[in-house]
Amino acid sequence: MIDGVKNILADQFWFSLILSGAALGGIMTAVAYGILLERKIAAWMQDRYGPNRVGPYGLLQPLADGLKFLLKEDIIPRNVDRVLFVLAPLAIFVVALIGFAVIPWGGTFKWPWMAADAAPLKVQVASIDIGLLYILAVASLGVYGVVLGGWASNNKYSFYGGMRAAAQMLSYEIPMGLAILTVVLTAGALRLEDLVAYQAGHWWIVAYHPLVALIFFTTALAESNRMPFDLAESEQELVGGYHTEYSAMKLALFFLAEYAHMITSSALMVCLFFGGWRVPGWTWLNEDPSVLAMLARVGAMSGKIFLLICVYMFIRWTIPRFRFDQLMRLAWKSLVPMSMALVALQGAVIYYGWPQWFTLIGNGSILLIGGAVSALGGKPITGRQQSLGPVGRSPGREAMSHV
């Protein structure tokens, strides 16, 4: 019995299968407590207490919220497309989760009972050669759930919110893809663990391409529909956006998908720009195949993800919402041109054999040129109408005043 369990744990297929179940449970727990963390951060920034009634220090608040959604009435309005109405939140939620499959969490390790010549196990559900392309393909599927939710609700506010979200996600996928392409050119790999290994022998890629990291982070915010990019559900204009008609657990799935997508994008950004699970200077931790070192690497990866999620939350409660024209202008007139210039910069560095640190100078130059072009553009970025002059008195009213 015990030998059978050891053999199962030592096989990569069964270990990946067990890891996928553990990761699913861990992600759902992280999502639930991520919502609590955001409420605590919001309370701290607004000088109030936040949730502190359910359990010690409010730690059982996620359980109370889950029970509340389960006990709410599940309303399906009349004249909706029932199949698509139910399918939309499930589609968004599943898409937000399956991106975790290719994220490497802790390198490789061996169980103590494994033979010295046995192949080490990867702390990763699926190691595929085109991991980055897989993530881009999965991220693009989220548009379908948003559009289906808005269209199937048979509500004009939901429809407008769905169209806004689709336009926003499609627009920001272009600079995101170009930013990822710059990283691929830098490291020469599409496999995420190879990107992490490249940063082990060099600086973190954020040191070579800080502007690329900023562009990727901005597009990840927009893809998650997070403030200041949450125009698809802006309460002042669209009531609740594409999930106006949803209630109970179907509404909860939209919120869970948002936080799951935030964790996925943070994990991807850590792998692309911040060295993944590796800690600079700790060679023994990065290379040790023991179980304890593997757990420490998973902890380092989780700590980096946690810090990025906190940045997400600080931005939400700091920066006000854009207008939709400002949102589109930022994507097409700023991020897309700069992303294309950064791809060309990295290509020139490779073609001419320049040192990789030349890209740091290029990043600064592109940022300065982009800022100068934006400042000298002439047209005000507010989009407001020109001030009108005072309203004069009409000749008819002048004649009436003398009667």
Q: What pLDDT is attached to residue 307? A: 93
Determine how β-strand 121-122 pairs with β-strand 108-109: antiparallel
Question: Taking the model in full, what pTM does it have?
Answer: 0.85
Domain count, the chain: 1
Tell me the chain's radius of gyration from C-alpha atoms. 25
Reported for 312-317, long-range contacts at CB under 8 A and 24+ positions apart, including other chains, are 312/221, 312/224, 312/226, 312/262, 312/266, 313/37, 313/38, 313/41, 313/42, 314/41, 314/45, 315/221, 315/226, 315/227, 315/228, 316/38, 316/226, 316/227, 316/228, 317/41, 317/42, 317/45, 317/46, 317/227
Q: What pLDDT is attached to residue 240? A: 67
Q: Tokens for 301, please give them.
A: 């990866």
In a domain, 333, yes or no: yes
Do the beta carbons of residue 142 and residue 131 sit within 8 Å? no
In a domain, 380, yes or no: no
In a domain, 400, yes or no: no
Q: What pLDDT is attached to residue 303? A: 92
In a domain, 131, yes or no: yes
pLDDT (tens place) for every residue of the chain, 403 residues total? 677 777 777 777 888 888 888 888 888 888 888 888 888 888 888 888 888 888 888 888 888 888 888 888 778 877 888 888 888 888 888 888 888 888 888 888 888 777 777 788 888 888 888 888 888 888 888 788 888 888 888 888 888 878 888 888 888 889 999 999 999 999 888 888 889 888 887 888 998 899 999 999 999 888 887 777 777 666 666 666 777 788 888 888 888 888 888 888 899 999 999 988 888 877 777 777 788 888 888 888 999 999 999 998 888 888 887 777 888 888 888 889 999 999 999 999 888 888 888 888 888 888 888 888 877 765 655 555 565 565 555 555 555 555 5
If 0-12 CB within 10 Å is exposed, 13-18 middle and 19+ buried, where does residue 3 land? exposed
Distance CA 240, CA 36 (A): 21
Residue type, 192: L
Q: What pLDDT is attached to residue 83? A: 85
Distance CA 345, CA 366 (A): 9
In a domain, 284, yes or no: yes
CB within 8 A of 43, min separation 6: which ones?
Answer: 49, 50, 51
Q: What pLDDT is attached to residue 169? A: 83
In a domain, 365, yes or no: yes
Cα torsion angle, 102, 106, 110, 112, sign: negative
CB within 8 A of 123, min separation 6: which ones?
Answer: 19, 104, 105, 106, 107, 108, 109, 294, 297, 298
Q: What pLDDT is attached to residue 148? A: 83
Q: Tokens for 273, please give them.
A: 């720009």
Do the beta carbons of residue 21 and residue 122 sit within 8 Å? no
Residue type, 266: S
Distance CA 243, CA 239 (A): 9
Distance CA 72, CA 55 (A): 22
In a domain, 15, yes or no: no
Neighbours of 76 (CB within 10 A): 12
**The domain containing residue 241 runs over which residues?**
73-113+120-374
Phi, then psi, of 122 in degrees rounded to 5 = -95, 135
In a domain, 335, yes or no: yes
| Alpha-carbon distance values, 239 to 74, 119, 235 (Å) | 19, 55, 4
Q: What pLDDT is attached to residue 211? A: 92
